[in-house]
Amino acid sequence: MGSEEGAVLKGDSGGKAELLNLLNKTENPVIMTCNDPMKLWGRGNWRRNRDRVNRVSENITFERVGPADLRRIALRVLDSEGIGIDPGALDALIRRNPGDLRALVKDLQSLSVTTSDHVDMAAVSELSGSVLRDSQINVFESLKRAYNSDSGLLASEAVLNSDKSPDEMLAWFSWNNQSAISNRGLEEISGAMCDSDSYLATKFTNRAFRSWYWGSSLPTQAIAAVTDSRNDGGVFISFPEFLRRGGETWRNADLIGRLAASLGTSKASFREDLWPALLAINDKSLGASEYDFTVSKKIGLSGEDHLAIFGIPKTSKVGKSILEEFGQIEEMPEKQEAPSSDKVEQSNDESQSTLDSFG
């Protein structure tokens, strides 16, 4: 039966083609919601997939409302209801709003019930103490608020309301700290960043230790402490390159699985703990060379795996040259060192451990 069995599909397939077919043939409105568009475009040539969908549809992005628009709409609602408000109370009401118009209207409705014809700071403070709204903000916006906050409390609130977990936020902090904080500031917070990473690693082994709390609080407070190292409002937040899994030039589907199996660990553990170190060892900006096969030979990589780590296509001129030299070195017999009379006679016991066995 194995010989008669056809090709087996792994996972979902044909979804985008069927979606395009539906959008081309339908005579009824179709509304699609997507939290992460990149997952819809898929891996590989995602720009082509995006353009194909956008030709038969319209992309509408929902953004949070800015403070100026919140102020304008709040004043319009209050004027229509004949209710006044103190400038400081309006500022406090807008400051605690994450950019949600519906939440703003509900707050104004609650204030109109508790006050007669004028809203003061005491009423807004009372509302803030009695209402706790569960809202999340985009990771880019939360990081901007954290880097530009005047205190650790505001920075912690921004990170707490983010749509990312402490593990992901630590990765975002580690990547963007390089551009948002000076070298001196990076040296000052390096200890806190390392501690938070080690604390997050214990969340599955020690349930009593609040690893998620300390894993997010430590880097946030450390960043808030280096106030003289931040750019005033001009922080540029970028997506961490090491989190772009699946579309990298060096990605090889079998490489990670093969290395994880040879080391007796899981793919996830190898990808998170050992893979970054392997990439750093073979990083040309750190002094590595694609013609140095020492590490690749040591861990049993093939020539194609070696090219994959460096992101070199095997069909290119450089790739063919490296593969040829890699094969020559692999076929070259190891040189046997001539015995020296000055060497101390080794023990005949094969079970005796030597320094060579730890290499």
Confidence bin at 278 (pLDDT 50/70/90) = confident
Indicate the pTM of the whole model: 0.43
Work out how many domains the chain is built from and give that number.
Answer: 4
| 9, part of any domain | no
Question: Would you tell me how many other CB atoms lie within 10 Å of the CB of residue 259?
Answer: 21
Confidence bin at 76 (pLDDT 50/70/90) = very high
148 and 227 part of one domain: yes
CA quadruple 278, 279, 284, 285: dihedral positive or negative? negative
Confidence bin at 163 (pLDDT 50/70/90) = low
* C-alpha span between 87 and 1 (Å, rounded): 79
Burial class (CB in 10 A: 0-12, 13-18, 19+), 115: middle
45 and 73 part of one domain: no
38-52, 131-145, 286-300, 338-352: segment of lowest average pLDDT? 338-352
* C-alpha span between 308 and 109 (Å, rounded): 60
Give the residue numbers spanning the domain of 145: 139-243
* Dihedral in degrees, nearest 10, Cα atoms 145, 146, 152, 154: 30
pLDDT digits over 211-221, tens only?
A: 777 887 888 88
125 and 143 part of one domain: no
| 165, part of any domain | yes
Residue in 158, 115, 154 with CA at minimum distance from that of residue 138: 158
- At residue 252, φ and ψ (nearest 5 deg) are -130, 120
| 339, part of any domain | no
Question: Would you tell me how many other CB atoms lie within 10 Å of the CB of residue 128?
Answer: 15
| 336, part of any domain | no
| 200, part of any domain | yes
Q: Mark 151-188 as b/e (b = at least 16 C-beta within 10 Å).
A: ebebbbbbbbbbebebbebbbbbebbbeebbeeebeee
User: What local confidence, expressed as pLDDT, does residue 35 receive?
Assistant: 75
204 and 224 part of one domain: yes
Structural domain ending residue among the three candidates 24, 54, 84: 54
User: CA gyration radius for the chain?
Assistant: 29
* Helices H / strands E in the chain, number of each: 18, 2
| 348, part of any domain | no
87 and 28 part of one domain: no
User: What local confidence, expressed as pLDDT, does residue 9 receive?
Assistant: 52
* Strand-pair partners of 145: none
Classified as helix, coil or strand, 84 is: strand
User: What local confidence, expressed as pLDDT, does residue 298 receive?
Assistant: 83
32 and 89 part of one domain: no
192 and 285 part of one domain: no
146 and 201 part of one domain: yes
In terms of residues, how long is the chain? 359
172 and 232 part of one domain: yes
pLDDT digits over 26-75, tens only?
A: 889 898 888 777 777 876 678 888 888 888 888 888 888 888 999 999 99
146 and 232 part of one domain: yes
| 351, part of any domain | no
| 355, part of any domain | no
